[in-house]
Structure 1
């Protein structure tokens, strides 16, 4: 609880738990951390904690439990591009039965499309290039539908050539197959647009898929901070004591 100017107590803002997949990549860890550091800089009054669903510690369930047993509420913001097992099972289980909520994933969001456009331009993509939107992939049909929303938005925004999609795992077509299909369709150059937050396992897969150019991941970027804070605000409003 915090005191107002009149002396009455108001509930403290929910703890913001930024939950990513986790990675062994040092560069990937730094990229994810940059998002949460940006959130802390933008909202220094918030208690911002990091959590993971795999590879790294602490686990999201432990972070949420630590916050809520100490008398706080918590909002988990999945630092994931779309839904899937980790969002719908791991993160959902972490908040169930606690004074906590989980927000929507980062995507789809028009700001992510703007970052993708910037990464394409930074990589030198231009007229005549075929673009493959390279996503991680999930066996969850809803996750594929969310990536398709981003694909359609990128097609509307990128008028310099065809835009298709490829996945690193679980979904089809795989990135390498999408790159090959673009070549067979007559593309002189194929650019893989990484729909990934950070360097690591999936970005390595994209880099090895045969594209002529591979764009940098989305983080760091201040627009990611904006999305995280928007997701946090939406979910915070759903908490009983909001």
Structure 2
């Protein structure tokens, strides 16, 4: 734009000289001396060259500036897209982890209920047997009592309610982080903050059951309509034991990785 402005000023300086020469000739006034005419022609020629040069510079400037602006826009769009992909990945990790902890919470809560129901039935059965047998079969009462004690000990030692509560807390933390990611237009600073918070949650997690984690990953892929290649392969036995055996993460490759292997 500076080249356009200086070109306009050079043209403005040349135009009055030509106009003055034409006005003097048409009014009948005497023409300037020969040396003056030569000097004026030199000035006119210099002004015309300045006009031509400034016009060329002015014409070239917008093109260069336009190309630079387009490149900057492309670069900004590329960075924004990369940040969006990173934010979507963090959101997917949050959703998968929340599903995982919800499944673990339900698992521990289920077995806690089963043990408690077993204790109630065993206690009721022992009481009923004591009433009916009136001491003729004391070994039944002893067996029932031992069963109740064993089930209660398992529930206390394993700490099923506490494990269920811990996974419930972790699930809520991941969902809270996901809620922060969803409504925002992500920036680099936000990505770093979200990743740091996710790492802090990972630090509080117990050992991962990778079969269950792979199933949660597949559930997220199905919910977003991901291609089959990114699904992890989980066999029927691993599905049955997903809450009992930890496995190794390499046991469950994606379909794409398995095809390459």
- TM-score band w.r.t. shorter chain: under 0.3
TM-score by length of 1: 0.22
TM-score by length of 2: 0.21
Select the structure with the greater relative contact order (CA < 8 A; seq sep ≥ 6). Answer: 1
Higher helix share goes to which structure?
Answer: 2
When Rg is computed on C-alpha atoms for both structures, the one with the higher figure is: 2
